[in-house]
Amino acid sequence: MKNGLPVALIVALAASLPLTVSAQTQPATAPDYTLSANLHLVSSYRFRGIDQTNGNPALQGGVDLTTERGYYAGAWGSNVNWLADAGGGEISNSLEMDVYGGYRRQLGDFGYDAGLLAYYYPGTYPAGFNKPHTAEVYLAGSWKMLSLKYSHALTDIFGAPDSKGAGYLDAGATMDLGGGYALKFHAGYQLVPESLANARSKSDCSYDDWSLGVTKEFVGLAVGLTYLDTNAKGGAGQCYLNAFNKNLGRQTLVLSVGKTF
């Protein structure tokens, strides 16, 4: 090979070629987290059975970051008007913003979840008004289609004076009906502690709520119809009567349409 490459150089190039190709084709390391977003339109926003929009529709959405190790964080928001309705023109709030984080794992049919959730209501409030911003810790467990969750208030709950330590117990079940349909049942109990300073007994603002709904995946959207009711006290002078003399815990049907990205 008078005019060719030296044999030693050819051997060296051949030996290095597989390594070069391997380095170029090696797949990138997959991230150890997932990021998702959701957007929903509901005919009425009910939180723990209580009306937040006076029966009007709400646009809601959020983002979630979840790691493979089980840690997660997220933010969620919705339009509301229960504070502005009660404020007689002195409160400008029209938005609820939630921020949360925690840790959850699934062990076979069992799961558990613990975290912190902060509710924030941006706006202006009159002097001396007990602002509704609320912080809760929660602990939840699940087994197959059943779930149980307890939330404990670290602050006054949603502006109720002297209500720190309020708790909410939430039990639920989800049954797969096939064909993309699911049946969902919920029952909850909101405890608002008594306040001697505000002449409030434990039964004045505490209540039960329950719901039964069905969801269906349809053309890439999650469509749901839910019946909700409570025994919240919404009579004259009671906790859950709004400025329009409507019981905020009255029974209703809620239609929802949403998508997760």
pLDDT tens-digit readout, 183-232: 999 999 999 999 988 889 999 999 999 999 999 998 999 999 999 999 99
pLDDT at position 237, please?
A: 84
Neighbours of 4 (CB within 10 A): 8
165: left (phi over 0), alpha (psi -120 to 50) or beta: left
pLDDT tens-digit readout, 72-108: 999 999 999 999 998 888 999 999 999 999 999 999 9
Q: Nearest 5 degrees, angle CA 225-CA 149-CA 105?
A: 100
pLDDT tens-digit readout, 134-169: 999 999 999 999 999 999 999 999 999 999 999 999
3-class secondary-structure state, position 253? strand
Percent of the chain with pLDDT over 70: 89
pTM tops 0.95: no
The domain limits of the chain are 31-260
CATH of domain 31-260: 2.40.160.40
- Rounded average pLDDT over 28-57: 93
Neighbours of 34 (CB within 10 A): 11
pLDDT at position 53, please?
A: 97
